[in-house]
A and B are shown apart, each in its own frame.
Chain A
Amino acid sequence: MSKNTLYGIFDCEQVLLASVKEIRANNIEIKEVYSPFPIHGLDKVLGLKETRMAITAFIYGCIGLSLGALMIYNIMIVDWPQNIGGKPNWTFYHNMPAFVPILFECTVLFAAHLMSITYLIRCGLFPGGESDSPDPRTTDDKFLMEIVVEGDVTAVKEILTKTGATEINEKDV
């Protein structure tokens, strides 16, 4: 049996949302939706799993905190204890309040940067990476729904047209 990929193009995100609901109600699996901007509620309608980005953020934050602590401990306590304002400089614990801003900043720096990088890698947005989008108009004013169909495509095409797709393209895989 041949596999076909259908690209339903939509003009309006509300129509797209309704269409996604309708198509999923008919037990047709949607592979991906491309849109020029985030659509509120699309992830729920598509039934996507919840993002694990928050967990990575927490892990990156912990890494930042630990590395920051290690760094400042090495700089200020081990390597070259400095007497700044008469503050105790032989133990990490006693000088702790002075280190809090550094620990905080390191946590934020690592969490923010590593999370952005993770996001870009997961989306394939690194230098030289190729865009997944099958149609460049999805970066402008069109919304695209990608459906992989095994066998007969007419039924799926019919639903797409019925729910408001302005254009349907087909590609053999």
Chain B
Amino acid sequence: MFTIDKKAKNFSMALMAIGLIALTYGFWTDAHRAWPSLLFNNYFFIGIAVFGVFFVALQYVAEAGWSIVLKRVPEAIMGALPVFSAIMLLIMVAAIMHFNHIYHWLHEGIMDPASEHYDRIIAGKEAYLNATFFIIRTIVYLLGWNYFAKKLRALSVLEDKQGGATIHFKGVRVSAWFMVFFAVTSAMASWDWIMSIDPHWFSTIFGWYVFAEWSAIGFTTVLLFTLYLKRQGYLQDVNENHIHDLGKWIFAFSLVWTYMWFSQFMLIWYANIPEEVTYFTARLEVENYKFLFWFSMIINFIAPIILLMSRDAKRNNGRLIFVGCIILLGHWLNSYLLVTPGTLGTHGHIGFTEIGMGLGFAGLFIYLVLNTLNKQPLETKNHPFLDESKNLHT
């Protein structure tokens, strides 16, 4: 059984306190800037949380055995999902109530030909981009993800108590449905929450791009928590073979992310069509973002490819932690760049509001995950592949 370390609890509390101060400060000084900051931080962490569900479901549908000894870690990560879902819903409700101006297409009169704000391109997308449908979709994604998270967790706990193949096969079925649901909703959520910030622009690869990002940071988070628990003396069945496998996933998904990033960038750069290229000019020709744009891309790509390529590196905890932190930072910066240029134009910059809220979210996330870890024994029992996982050779 896992008990929360006093130091870890105080650490997460301190981070949350910083976050609260940053939140208050942000909304006090400049609410226009605080909302996008809230959105991109929440986008980053809800991605990790929903990735926990994806990880568990992936192991079920692939009948994968290697990860069973560390199964409680992704389960704990999905325990953070309800809170971040609530925050996401809050942001979206505030958006349609016009408390914030993240989404340009929600502006008054933009779909109305008589209005001076009329925008023909956005009005053409009214069937999809309208407030009612938008909020219904958001609720559907969030409810769906939370439902599957709860279901998979309940099955896992039941399996510990009862055992037997029936529960396992039920898990496979539930996971298969989740895969179908998540394939559609993760892409749609990325269009709704992120891509529609720049409503004139669209990219067909965007859903995969966001999914690759969530996977990269998700696997990194699973790895970091696993290493933390191992260092605290838990999860003794996890050995360097499991860590090696997680390292491979991080390496692979960092490259998938770069692949998506580049596919999107190169086609737009090459075709150079005005309606597409505005997305990148808003990032590349603005002093505030230009450096971050290249910097985040380079550290998300170069750090894993150079530092994690060899087998020994993926078995070296220090190296993995170092690269993991770089990846989290890189993708956090990238999330910032997904949201800010479209909302704050040329005025966005990273300051206390953004960093403080990021730290606050991190604290909240750590607190929720540790809390969920606390609820069930860390060692799983009765899983059909448990023995396979304990005897893993990579």
User: CB of A86 within 8 A of chain B?
Assistant: yes
Given A40-B393, A41-B393, A100-B266, CB of A54 within 8 Å of CB of B310: yes
0/1 string, A81-111, CB within 8 A of B gives 1: 0000111000000000110110000000000
Q: How many A-B residue pairs have CB under 8 A?
A: 22
Bound complex: CA of A101 vs CA of B265, how far in Å? 12
A-B contact pairs, 19 of them (CB 8 A): A40-B393, A44-B393, A50-B311, A54-B310, A54-B311, A58-B309, A85-B271, A85-B272, A86-B272, A87-B270, A97-B262, A97-B265, A97-B266, A97-B269, A98-B266, A98-B270, A100-B262, A100-B266, A101-B266
Bound complex: CA of A62 vs CA of B54, how far in Å? 35
0/1 string, B236-251, CB within 8 A of A gives 1: 0000000000000000
* Interface residues, chain A, with chain B CB atoms under 8 Å away: 40-41, 44, 50, 54, 58, 85-87, 97-98, 100-101
Q: Which A residues touch B309, using CB under 8 A?
A: 58
Q: Which B residues touch A41, using CB under 8 A?
A: 393
Q: Which A residues touch B393, using CB under 8 A?
A: 40-41, 44
Q: Do A85 and B310 have beta carbons less than 8 Å apart?
A: no
Q: Do B262 and A85 have beta carbons less than 8 Å apart?
A: no
0/1 string, B280-313, CB within 8 A of A gives 1: 0000000000000000000000000000011100
Q: Which A residues touch B269, using CB under 8 A?
A: 97
B320–chain A nearest beta-carbon distance, Å: 18
Q: Which B residues touch A85, using CB under 8 A?
A: 270-272
Given contacts A44-B393, A98-B270, 15 further A-B contacts (CB under 8 A): A40-B393, A41-B393, A50-B311, A54-B310, A54-B311, A85-B270, A85-B271, A85-B272, A87-B270, A97-B265, A97-B269, A97-B270, A98-B266, A100-B262, A101-B266
0/1 string, B302-341, CB within 8 A of A gives 1: 0000000111000000000000000000000000000000
Q: Which B residues touch A40, using CB under 8 A?
A: 393
Q: Which A residues touch B272, using CB under 8 A?
A: 85-86
CB closest chain-B residue, reference A50:
B311
Bound complex: CA of A100 vs CA of B270, how far in Å? 12
Q: Which A residues touch B262, using CB under 8 A?
A: 97, 100
Q: Which B residues touch A97, using CB under 8 A?
A: 262, 265-266, 269-270
CB closest chain-B residue, reference A98:
B270
Bound complex: CA of A44 vs CA of B309, how far in Å? 22
Bound complex: CA of A50 vs CA of B393, how far in Å? 15
Bound complex: CA of A86 vs CA of B273, how far in Å? 12
Q: Which B residues touch A100, using CB under 8 A?
A: 262, 266
A56–chain B nearest beta-carbon distance, Å: 13
CB closest chain-A residue, reference B268:
A97
CB closest chain-B residue, reference A84:
B270
CB closest chain-B residue, reference A58:
B309
Q: Which A residues touch B270, using CB under 8 A?
A: 85, 87, 97-98
CB closest chain-A residue, reference B311:
A54
